[in-house]
Amino acid sequence: MDLKDAALMLASESAAHPTVASIAQAAHDQLAQGQRVDYRLLHELLGEASGKGVLRALHRKYSPAAYEAIIMPICQEIGRQAPVPPRHPPAPPPGSADDPLTAPVWPPR
């Protein structure tokens, strides 16, 4: 299943939840027009679907393989587009009071 099909499945399965259905339909429409869907819209889609119980209902209704086939294209696209935060905090600038090698007095007062 591709991203467009996954968005369509979520749109059809969330008919009882207009917010989720409208977000899923917007994502599907963009994909149908050949446009790229921003990861923030897809993240919002999964967040709303989770909050409204749509994901839980999909999990109960479909087999684990089918559930993954619906959800994973969306998760993979979010993972592909979303910025990756740095692993380590930035180092203090040289000469700052937080740098033990160049601070005039250590530990800082």
Predicted TM-score (pTM) of the model is 0.76
Cα–Cα distance measured from residue 79 to residue 14, given in angstroms and rounded to the nearest whole number: 23
For the segment 2-60, what is each residue's pLDDT rounded down to a tens digit? Answer: 999 999 999 999 999 999 999 999 999 999 999 999 999 999 999 999 999 999 999 99
Closest C-alpha to 16, from 70, 62, 58? 58
pLDDT tens string 27-37: 999 999 999 99
Q: Where are the domains of the chain?
A: 3-81
Please choose, from the candidates 17, 27, 92, the residue with its C-alpha nearest in 3D space to the C-alpha of residue 100: 92
Please report, to the nearest 10 degrees, the dihedral formed by the alpha carbons of residues 102, 106, 108, 109 taken in order: -140
CB contact at 8 A, 22 and 40: no
